[in-house]
Structure 1
Amino acid sequence: MCLCAGVFGDEVKSVSVMEGDSLTLQTHITEIQRDDRILWKFGPQETRIAEINKEDNIISINGDVLDGRFRDRLQLNNQTGDLIITNITTQHTGVYQINIRGIKMTSHRFNVIVYAHLPAPVITSNSSKCSSSSSSNCSLLCSVLNVRDVSLSWYKGNSLLSIISVSDLNIRLSLSLEVEYQDTNTYRCVLNNTITNQTQHLNITHLCQTCSDTTGVIISVIYLLIFSYNNLFYYLL
């Protein structure tokens, strides 16, 4: 759960949270006073989503507004007026505003960014299945589908080789890399946002083989099949 306290005046506090988590937006109030009225709003239209009117003893949660995106997800702390959003989704990304009317008027705003869980990047080879020379280059591609507000990077050990970033929703995000066949270094492709990351390690021997390696594997398989056949023939006799 993320606990976030707002800021006064025209400032906006930025909050990042993962999809599926709970988020608590705090009011700075220790205890609501008898004449206080607390109003929570969301989005550019400042849609009312929750209210506490202490004088009239009213507690109201409007989860059905905005096509029901807040339905069964909002809670109010009766003592402090804190707003709790449970099982949050990317649809809840936006600006939340609280207006507090009492002895004095105050307001806080939160810019909430909800990140979806990241998929694991996929590494594929654009080269032929094998190369006759171990000194030639093997062309690789690391890619992910349907991501936004992320960076995709290639690392050699702990050294950053290349990086590409995207803010808008991208159908496919890709980053290429060339290595020598039978390279003994360790490579990894990393997809990350401001909260978390997903890493895919490169298996060079699997994606980048020399033809001699492939031939050796084939010969070994043939010998194994011959050996198995001879054993079977001997058993049948």
Structure 2
Amino acid sequence: MRNHSFLFWVVLGLLVDGVFVSVTDEVKPVSVMKGDSVILNAGVSELQSDDMLEWIFGEVIIAKIEEKHKISINVFRDRLELDSQNGSLTIKDITNEHEGLYKVDIRGRSETSKRFNVTVRGGAKKKIVMMGESISLHTSVIEIKGYDLVLWKFEDHVMAEINKGTDLFLLHDTSDEKFNGRLDLDRQTGDLIIRSIQTTDSGVYQLNMISSSHTIQRNITVTVSDPGPHTNNGPLIWGLSLGIGFLVAFALGVLCHCMIKKGFSRVSTSG
């Protein structure tokens, strides 16, 4: 009976004037690479017309939504986007100055609060590879179990996808003549491998990693260099050049020898 009374007072404390208060002390870790775009989810599918939302970075209110979905962004204006429908915050082309603790507060018919700890790491977003080699495009995670969906795209076409909910690991390379069975997908890390890469594979590859709390978007530029016919024939051309050099030197030697011999012959005859 005492336990039921305790539960009653807890529920009553959360329900004040018809408002449900949902507050969590959990801090969601979000690790991104410099230059990524990250979307932090506010945790609601749709804001109500009378809801008020604030995104706080450290101790500073960086963006907010007031009544009737009026949006205002106070800092990082060239990098932030705020979704008026669900309150999600997008940080584009992230840098080290965006690293830190983010908090979202929603007040209205329901009150919620969520926190995210964003860390920014360095990493190469450009790769140069020789034609015919293999290349790995990395998700930079040890294991993708924290993500519900992983998508690899090239020129807005889906190349590969991993859906943890349905245990789906799918490569779109057999139906696409461009890659023609040259793709592999690491089931643990989500890394994409392209074998026997061609110059036509040069371009921007897009990675989307989606979880319940956040989404990471990354662009990786791949440049494939063509060594050309001269590289493969280099030893042959070098050998031919060396042979021609020896022939020219031999011919000059013979010519000089003949001229010297002819000179001695004239001297002997005049004597």
Higher strand share: 1
* Bigger Rg, structure 1 or 2: 2
Structure 1-normalised TM-score? 0.48
TM-score (normalizing by structure 2): 0.42
By percentage of residues, which structure has more helix? 2
